[in-house]
Chain A
Amino acid sequence: MTSVTHPVARAGTGPLAHLVDVAYAVGGRPVFDGLNISIARGSVTAIMGPSGTGKTTLLRLITGQIRPGRGRVEVAGEDLAALDTDGLYRLRRRMGMLFQNGALLTDLDVYENVAFPLREHTQLPECLIARTVLMKLQAVGLRGAARLMPAELSGGMSRRVALARAIVMDPEILIYDEPFAGLDPIALGVVLRLIRETNDALGLTSIVVSHDVHVIGQLADHTYLLSSGKVVAEGSPAELERDPAPVVHQFMAGEADGPVPFHYPAPDYAAQLLGAEVPA
């Protein structure tokens, strides 16, 4: 697959998203502490890490859905902490996000789902809305499914419709939360190709959260590996494969036990069995 950087993506300088010394805690439990991440313009950047390391939380920080306890989050040159709700909504018009389950509006059909952002944010005449929607649906191969309801779509189709909806306002940044989870190999291949082609053809910057090492190896330009609230490794997928750090090796090789233990912290096994204690 050839990667072609779009002229628009080349126009900007510096990272499109920048997290500096970010700390975030939930109920006193730290999720991130001193997190530093930089997302280059025009690239596909992957965020990987074991389950529970806060990958989705990181996306919520980048989209301004939550605010860090410490540190700075900058997206498209805007410091999110300085934005009020209107400012945040203005910034989000430049972003698109694809949720794990597609998050299509279940009372609207495919066509209306894709048209939704246009109807909410523009005064375009119906003929222009129709053309834009059909073009986006054609791009994801679902023009023929325009009048289907979300309940009639497969998982892969839902994600393709969600992708069409995410790009209908021509955003600068596209964010994908686990876009490959639960897909069959054909649907996975389709979504993988669409993410790459959409990024390159529209000159976007894409952030993909996933723990599928194999797929990310084919897709990402740059990868961050998170563990214990910090970046433990970064680089191209090939560089991560060669990284000797135990936690990186365990994740990339898919080993069950290692620095990320198989067992959740628990009292002594023998003592608990002999005492026949019921876990409190």
Chain B
Amino acid sequence: MSVAGELLLSGRELLQKWGRFTLFTARLLAVSPRALGRFRLVVAQVYNAGALSLVIIMLSGLFVGMVLGLQGYDLLRRFGSTEALGTAAALGLLRELGPVVTALLFAGRAGTALASEIGLMSATDQLSAMEMMAVDPVRRVCAPRFIGGVIAMPLLAAIFSTIGIFGAQLVGVTLMGVDSGQFWSQMRGSVELADVVEGIIKSIAFGFACSAIAVYEGYHAVPTAEGVGRATTRTVVTSSVAVLALDYTLTAMLL
């Protein structure tokens, strides 16, 4: 087959997959209100996707904040405006790094757990058993996990950004000697509600994308050990690309 032919074929496959994903997401959204009625299931998934990701999110937030503090201090020192470090760190974390890095970590930790769990349920006939008990697995298994992810992501991003700001303060103020009052007052003066809202909008969008991709890949995994492994890998790769592409799109729309 010629290169053009192969490109055409993979383009068609990509379109088909996108179509299947869109239909699946529409089905997820359609059954989500009923799944919300079983709030206990959603709470359990917020715990699985959110609370169990806390350690990695907090540690990463601290280190990202510390690096931001160090790099920011070095850069601002050249312009003699190290007092703006608080503003730079807060804006960077709230608008970009908080939502994006949290989403990438979420895809790696919670997304893979979701995809492999649902894939294994399929491989061990648990989803078929539900269908035979007249229980829709998309409503009972996928929707609570999807909603749990969408709720957990903004909370995790908020925690990431908060810890990150303290990390930047730790390096900037405690180690590099930036004035504490200036660090916090400049931040309070410059960071607006719109900046926080931008971060929240982004993290909800990333939570939606990462959770939908993880649930889709798990539900459609080939029911073998290799199939579940491939689905888990695809979850991380697709989610990461989706987060970065969505980030650019949303930034362009919100600026």
By the criterion CB–CB under 8 Å, are B136 and A103 in contact? Answer: no
Closest Cβ–Cβ distance, residue B37 to chain A (whole Å): 12
Given A65-B131, A121-B134, are A103 and B140 also a contact pair (CB < 8 Å)? Answer: no
By the criterion CB–CB under 8 Å, are B126 and A103 in contact? Answer: yes
Q: Point out the residue from A65, A90, A100, A120 that lies within 8 Å of B133, measured CB to CB.
A: A120
Closest Cβ–Cβ distance, residue B66 to chain A (whole Å): 38
Interfacial residues of chain A within 61-77, with CB under 8 A of chain B in the complex: 63, 65
Stretch at the interface among A18-26, A91-99, A184-192, A240-248: A91-99
B124 within 8 A of A: yes
Interface string of B122-166 (1 = CB under 8 A from A): 001110111111111000100000000000000000000000000
Q: Point out the residue from B132, B135, B136 that lies within 8 Å of A63, measured CB to CB.
A: B132
Closest Cβ–Cβ distance, residue A27 to chain B (whole Å): 15
Interfacial residues of chain A within 165-185, with CB under 8 A of chain B in the complex: 165, 169
By the criterion CB–CB under 8 Å, are A95 and B125 in contact? Answer: no
Give Cα A176 to B124, complex, Å.
Answer: 16
Given A97-B129, A120-B140, are A103 and B134 also a contact pair (CB < 8 Å)? Answer: no
Q: Which residues of B contact A95 (CB under 8 A)?
A: 132
Q: Which residues of A contact B134 (CB under 8 A)?
A: 89-90, 92-93, 117, 120-121
Given A89-B136, A120-B140, are A103 and B125 also a contact pair (CB < 8 Å)? Answer: yes
Q: Which residues of A contact B121 (CB under 8 A)?
A: 105-106
Give Cα A14 to B126, complex, Å.
Answer: 33
Q: Which residues of A contact B135 (CB under 8 A)?
A: 116-117, 120-121
By the criterion CB–CB under 8 Å, are B126 and A116 in contact? Answer: no
Give Cα A90 to B135, complex, Å.
Answer: 10
With CB as the reference atom, state the residue of chain A lying closest to B44.
A107
Q: Which residues of A contact B130 (CB under 8 A)?
A: 105
A5 within 8 A of B: no
Interface residues on B, range: 10 to 19
Tally inter-chain residue pairs, CB-CB below 8 A: 50
By the criterion CB–CB under 8 Å, are B132 and A97 in contact? Answer: yes
With CB as the reference atom, state the residue of chain B lying closest to A162.
B129
Q: Point out the residue from B125, B128, B133, B136 that lies within 8 Å of A116, measured CB to CB.
A: B133
Q: Which residues of A contact B124 (CB under 8 A)?
A: 101, 103, 106
Q: Which residues of A contact B128 (CB under 8 A)?
A: 65, 99, 103
With CB as the reference atom, state the residue of chain B lying closest to A117.
B133
Q: Which residues of A contact B133 (CB under 8 A)?
A: 92, 116-117, 120, 165, 169
Q: Which residues of A contact B132 (CB under 8 A)?
A: 63, 65, 92, 95-97
Given A89-B136, A120-B140, are A103 and B131 also a contact pair (CB < 8 Å)? Answer: no
Give Cα A175 to B121, complex, Å.
Answer: 21
Give Cα A106 to B135, complex, Å.
Answer: 16
By the criterion CB–CB under 8 Å, are B125 and A99 in contact? Answer: yes
Closest Cβ–Cβ distance, residue B148 to chain A (whole Å): 14
Give Cα A117 to B131, complex, Å.
Answer: 11
Give Cα A135 to B131, complex, Å.
Answer: 24
Q: Which residues of B contact A100 (CB under 8 A)?
A: 125
Interfacial residues of chain A within 91-139, with CB under 8 A of chain B in the complex: 92-93, 95-97, 99-101, 103-106, 116-117, 120-121
Closest Cβ–Cβ distance, residue B193 to chain A (whole Å): 41
Q: Which residues of B contact A104 (CB under 8 A)?
A: 126, 129
By the criterion CB–CB under 8 Å, are A105 and B136 in contact? Answer: no
Closest Cβ–Cβ distance, residue A62 to chain B (whole Å): 11
Q: Which residues of B contact A120 (CB under 8 A)?
A: 133-135, 140
Give Cα A65 to B129, complex, Å.
Answer: 11
Give Cα A89 to B130, complex, Å.
Answer: 11
Give Cα A117 to B140, complex, Å.
Answer: 12
Given A89-B136, A120-B140, are A105 and B126 also a contact pair (CB < 8 Å)? Answer: yes
Task: Find the residue from B121, B134, B136 having the highest chain A CB count within 10 A.
Answer: B134
Give Cα A26 to B132, complex, Å.
Answer: 22
Give Cα A109 to B133, complex, Å.
Answer: 17
Q: Which residues of B contact A106 (CB under 8 A)?
A: 121, 124, 126
Give Cα A65 to B128, complex, Å.
Answer: 9
With CB as the reference atom, state the residue of chain A lying closest to B133.
A117
Give Cα A88 to B84, complex, Å.
Answer: 64
Q: A105-B121, A117-B133 are in contact. List 17 more A-B contacts (CB 8 A).
A: A65-B128, A65-B131, A92-B131, A92-B132, A92-B134, A99-B125, A99-B128, A99-B129, A101-B124, A103-B129, A104-B126, A105-B126, A106-B121, A117-B135, A120-B134, A120-B135, A121-B134
**Can you name 6 A-B pairs with beta carbons within 8 Å?**
A65-B132, A90-B134, A97-B132, A105-B121, A106-B121, A116-B135
Give the 4 A-B residue pairs with the shortest CB-CB distance, closest first: A103-B129, A103-B125, A89-B134, A92-B134
